[in-house]
Amino acid sequence: MAKFTREQREIYQAIKDRDEDSNLNYQFTDFTSFKKFNSWIGPNEINKIHPKSLKILKTVNALKKTNLFGGNKLKFKGGLFHNNNKILEMLLFFDFGMFYCYGTSSFFEGFTGRTISKILRYNYKIQLLSQTQRDLNWDTYCDGLEYMGISENDDSGNNINKGDYLYDYVRGGSKGHGRSSYNGFVKNEDIHICLQEIEKHRLEIEKQNLEKRNNRDNRRKEIEDKRLKELQVSQTNVLSELDKDGNGEVDVVEGNDFNTLLKKHQKSILEVDRNYVQQFVKVSSYLKTKKGNIQSIFNSIKDTPNQEVLNEYVEILKGNIHSYNLILFNSLNMIVSLVEDDMITFYEIHEMFDTLNMFDSKHEKDVSQKLTNIGDGLESLMNEIRDVGNQISNSIEELSYVTEKSNQQLQGQLSEIDSTLKVGNLISVINTYQNYKINQNTKSLKK
C-alpha cells in the first residue's frame, strides 16, 4: 500500500494549519491509473454494475442528481465497486467530487426512504446535497469521508493511524427506534490506494501553489523593502535640507527679534496709540504659534507612509515656512514704519494683517491643537494648512511698500538690537521660494 512521505505530511499539515479553505477549487481529473483495478467501471460501462448494487445506488437521493442515472448536474467519471461476501464498498467519482459507500447485507435490501447524502469534494470538504431525512430500516449510509493527517483516537477509543481514511456512517431505525452515528475505516485496499493517489496529487498541486505564493510574497517583500529604503533616504534628505544644523528643529528665522524690537520702541508706540502695543503682542503670539505648527509638520515627515505623501507634506511645510517669513518680514516693517512715522506703510501692512486675522491667532492655535491630537484626519488638516498658507502668501505678496530705503531702515533697527538677522538674506529666501512657485506653475500649465 502506498505511503506518504514526511515532506508530503508536513505540506498537508501546513496547508491545514494555514488555511483550511485554501484548496476549495481543487479537482482531480486523471483517472487513468484507476482503470488497472478489476473493480473499475467507467461512465460507459454502467451495465457491468451488479443489479443489486445499482439498486442500492438508485436509492441514494444525492446520486439521482448525477448523470449516473440520467441526471445532468454531476458528471459520473467512473468508480470502484467491491462486492465480497455481502459486504459492499463503493467509491464513485464525479466531475467535482466523490461518493463513498460501505455496508453489509442490509444494503442489498435497498433504502426504504430518502436519506441525507453527501458527496465529498476532492479536497475532502463535504458538500451537502440533500437535507431531507425520513425513517430508515436499519440501513447504513456514508455521511462523509475524512483523511486523517495525524494519529489520534476516535470517539470509541480506537487508534487512527496516519494515512487512514475515516468515514462517518449513520445507523438508522424505523419509527420508535433510535438512530446512531458511527466511525469506520475504508476497508478495500484498491479504494484506499485511489484515495491516497488523489491526496498526493492534491498535495503536489498545493505545494506548487504554496511555492508560487511564497515566491510572490517574497517578491512583494523585496519591492516593499526597496520602497521603504528609498522612502527613508528621501525623508532623510528632506530633513537634512530643512534642518541643516541637525538639531531636530526646522530652520526658520531663529531668535526673538520681533519681541526685542517691540520692547525697544514700546514707549514710542504707546505715544501713538496704546492699542497698537496689544495688537503687536497678538502678532507675536501668532508668529510663535505658527512656528510651533511648522515644527509639528516637520516632525510628521519621518512618519509619511509613501513618497507621494512625503512630497505633499514637504510642499505644505515649505509653503508655511514661506508665509512665516513673509509675516515676520512685514511685522518688523510695521514696527519700523510706525517708529519712523511712515504711516502710509504702517496702515498698508496693518490693514492687510487685519484682513488676514493676524491680530487673532485663534486659527493657528486651533491648528496647533489639531496637530497635537491628530488621528486619521491629518490629510484634511494638511489641506487646510496649505490653503490658509497660500491665502496669506498671496495676500501679503501684493504689498508694494518695500524699497531700498525701507530695507535699510529695517536693517538699521535690527543692528541696534544686535540681531543676527540680515534683511537681504531674508528677502533672498522669500524671492527664491516665489520664483520656485512660479516655475512650478509654469510647468504645470505646459502639461
The pLDDT tens digits of the residues spanning 318-373 come to 888 888 888 899 999 999 999 999 999 999 988 888 888 777 766 666 666 666 65
pLDDT tens profile 183-194? 566 777 888 888
Burial environment of residue 265 by CB neighbours within 10 A (0 to 12, 13 to 18, 19 or more):
middle
213-236: average pLDDT: 93
Q: Which three cell numbers stand for residue 303?
A: 512618519
SS3 174: coil
Model confidence, pTM = 0.60
Per-residue pLDDT at 297: 86
Other C-beta atoms within 10 Å of 30: how many? 9
SS3 99: strand
pLDDT tens profile 401-419? 777 888 888 899 889 988 8
User: Has residue 239 got a pLDDT over 80?
Assistant: yes
Other C-beta atoms within 10 Å of 419: how many? 19
Q: In what order do the strands lie in the sheet with 126-128?
A: 40-41, 76-84, 87-94, 97-103, 118-121, 126-128
pLDDT band at 170 (very low <50, low <70, confident <90, very high): very low
DSSP at 171: E
Per-residue pLDDT at 265: 92
Per-residue pLDDT at 166: 57
CA end-to-end span of the chain: 72
Per-residue pLDDT at 106: 44
C-alpha 412/C-alpha 432 separation (Å) is: 24
C-alpha 143/C-alpha 137 separation (Å) is: 17
User: Has residue 389 got a pLDDT over 70?
Assistant: yes
C-alpha 310/C-alpha 295 separation (Å) is: 15
User: Has residue 179 got a pLDDT over 50?
Assistant: no
Per-residue pLDDT at 219: 94
Helix (H) or strand (E) holding 138: none
In the chain, the amino acid numbered 230 is E
pLDDT band at 293 (very low <50, low <70, confident <90, very high): confident
pLDDT tens profile 7-21? 545 544 544 544 444
Select the more confidently predicted residue: 58 or 375. 58
User: Has residue 43 got a pLDDT over 70?
Assistant: yes
Q: Are 170 and 143 in contact (CB under 8 A)?
A: yes
C-alpha 78/C-alpha 37 separation (Å) is: 12
C-alpha 220/C-alpha 116 separation (Å) is: 46
Query: For the chain, what's the residue count?
Result: 447
pLDDT tens profile 47-74? 888 777 777 777 777 677 788 887 777 7
Percent of the chain with pLDDT over 90: 16
